[in-house]
Amino acid sequence: MTEIKSNSENIIEVNDLVKIYKQGNVKAVDKIFFNVKKGEIFALLGPNGAGKTTIISVLATLLFLTEGKAIVNGYDVAKYPDKVRKSIGVVFQEPSLDGELTGRENLEFHTILYSMAKKIRTERIEEVLELVDLKDKQKTYTKNYSGGMKRRLEIARGLLHYPNVLFLDEPTLGLDPQTRRKIWEKIKELNKEQQITILLTTHYMEEADELADRICIIDHGKIIALDTAESLKSKLAKDVLAVELENVSNFNELKIKIEQLENIEQVKVVSESDQSQDMVEIIQNRLKKMGGPMANVSPEMIRQKMRKGMAEAMKDPVKFVKNLGKMPGSFEMFKYIPYESKKGIADNIEDNVLELLPEEIKAELIQIKKGVIPSKLSQDNILKINIACESGAKSITQVVQLINEMGIDIKSINMRSPTLEDVFLFYTGAKIRDEDSNRVKGIKEFIKMRKLRK
Ligand code: ATP
C-alpha cells in the first residue's frame, strides 16, 4: 500500500529531517522542515557546504535519511524509494554524460537503463530534445557540446520518464551569464508549460531571485529564512544605504563604532559588504589580459572556485601560503582570509617560507605574529558597509552625522533597494557583529517560533 500525503497541495513535505554522515560524523542537515507546493519553483539557497545537495540527495532517494520524514509525490522516501524515483527527475551538479556518445545516444542509454518501453522511447526522446532545443545537435558527440548544451541535455535526460518533480542541483554552475539566462528560460518554460514542480539548489542570489516562487535560505544544515524573494527583502528593510568609509585603520575599533549606527532610529542592521566582489573583478581582469580559453570565465565560476579553493586552502593554511602566486589573483586573495586563519599561518609558517612571500604579506604576518590585529580592510583602507533602514532619506542625515562624530571619513554614500544578497549576508553572517551575538540568536529564535506557530 502506498502512503498518500496529508496535504495534496504539497508535492514535497519535509519534516524534521536530519542527515548525519557517519564518515566524519557530519550533521549535514539538522531538523529541517519545509513544504513545496505543486507547480512551484522552490530554491534552496546557501553557501558551499550548507547542506543543499544532501537534501536533494535524500529527497531523490540517493541517500538514506538519519531521522525525520520526507514525502515526495505522495510517497515516503524511506519506505517507497522506487516509487519516488519513478516520479522524479534529477540533474546533479557533477556532469554525468558520456562524452563518447552522441546526445541522442546518451538519452537512449538512459531509457534502456530505466527499462522504458521501446514503443514510447523514440517518441519521448524526440519530445525532450525538442523541449531543450537540442534536436539539431542530437547526433553530435557530447564531448563536443558547450557547457550550456550539456546542462540542457542533462535536463532532457531528467525529463525522459515524465516526472512531476524535477530536482536541479546547481543547474547553472560555472556557466557564462548568457547561457545561464537560456537555462533559466528553459526552467521557467518547463515549470509553466509542462507543469513540472522544480526544486533547485543554488548559491547564486540572482538565480534564486529570478526563478524561485519561494526561497529557503540554508546555512550549516538549518533553515534560517523561508519566503518569497520580495518578502525576504521587504522584511529586511525598505532602503539600504551603501557607505564607503575611507582612511580607517583599526578594524576592531571600527567594528565597535559602527555598531552604534544601529542605535539610530529606523536603522535595522549594519553589515559589511561582500568585498570578495572586488576580488572577482581583479581575477577576471587578469584572466582577460592573459587571453586564451580562460578569458571568458564567468564571475560566478571564479566565485565558486574561490569559495572551494579558500575552503580547501584553510584546511592547510601554510601549504596555501606556499602555493600563493601559482594562480592568478592569489596574492589579492590573501587579503580576504579571516584573521583567525592568518594567525594560524603566522604562528606556523617557517621563516624560509616567509622570506619567499611578497613584502606586504610578509610584513602583515610578522605584525600578526607580534600580536597586532590588522585591519580587515582593502588595500586602500576602504571599508564598505550596508545600512538597512526603514527610510534611507530620513536616516541619511543622522548616519552621516554619527560617522563624522566617530572621526571616520565617508568616501561615498548611495541609497538603493535591498537585494537578496543583503538578506543573505544578514542571515548567514557576513556581518560586522559576531555570528553568535544575542541579537542574531534572537532573530533565529524568532524565525523558529514563527515557523512553529504556522
Ligand atoms: P555545495 O554547494 O558545495 O555543493 P551543499 O550546500 O550542497 O554545498 P553538501 O554537499 O550537502 O552542501 O554538504 C553539507 C555538509 O556535509 C558539508 O559539511 C560536507 O562537507 C558534508 N558532506 C557532504 N557529503 C559528505 C559525505 N559523503 N561524507 C561526509 N560528509 C559529507
Q: Which atom of ligand 1 is nearest to the CA of 57?
A: 11
Ligand 1 midpoint to CA 54 (Å): 6
Taking CA atoms only, the protein residue closest to ligand 1 atom 27 is: 21
Rounded Cα gap, residues 203 and 185, in angstroms: 18
Per-residue pLDDT reduced to its tens digit, 163-195: 999 999 988 887 777 778 888 998 998 899 889
Percent of the chain with pLDDT over 90: 33
Per-residue pLDDT reduced to its tens digit, 201-230: 988 888 999 999 999 998 889 998 899 999
Is 290 a residue whose pLDDT tops 70?
no
Ligand 1 midpoint to CA 133 (Å): 33
DSSP state of 102: B
CA 445 centroid distance within chain? 23
Average of pLDDT values for 90-113? 89
For the record, the C-alpha cell of 136 comes out as: 539539431
Mean pLDDT score across all residues of the chain: 80
Q: Other CB atoms closer than 10 Å to residue 251's CB: what's the count? A: 17
Determine the 3-state secondary structure of 55 from DSSP.
helix
Rounded Cα gap, residues 249 and 106, in angstroms: 58
For the record, the C-alpha cell of 17 comes out as: 529531517
Rounded Cα gap, residues 215 and 41, in angstroms: 9
Rounded Cα gap, residues 201 and 197, in angstroms: 14
Taking CA atoms only, the protein residue closest to ligand 1 atom 26 is: 21
Fill in the amino acid letter for 293.
P
For the record, the C-alpha cell of 167 comes out as: 530536482
What is the total residue count of the chain? 454
Per-residue pLDDT reduced to its tens digit, 431-454: 333 333 333 344 444 444 444 443
Cα angle 360, 365, 371; round to 5: 130
* Alpha helix ranges (H) inside 60-117: 81-87, 103-113
Rounded Cα gap, residues 316 and 382, in angstroms: 29
Residue 51 near ligand 1, beta carbon < 6 Å? yes
**What pLDDT score does 129 carry?**
92
Q: Other CB atoms closer than 10 Å to residue 110's CB: what's the count? A: 18
Rounded Cα gap, residues 409 and 4, in angstroms: 62
Of residues 142 and 422, more confidence is placed in 142
Residue from 18, 22, 45, 52 to probe ligand 1 pocket by mutation (most atoms less than 8 Å from CB): 52
Environment class of 195 (CB within 10 Å of its CB; exposed 0-12, middle 13-18, buried 19+): exposed
DSSP state of 264: S
Residue from 25, 27, 53, 92 to probe ligand 1 pocket by mutation (most atoms less than 8 Å from CB): 53
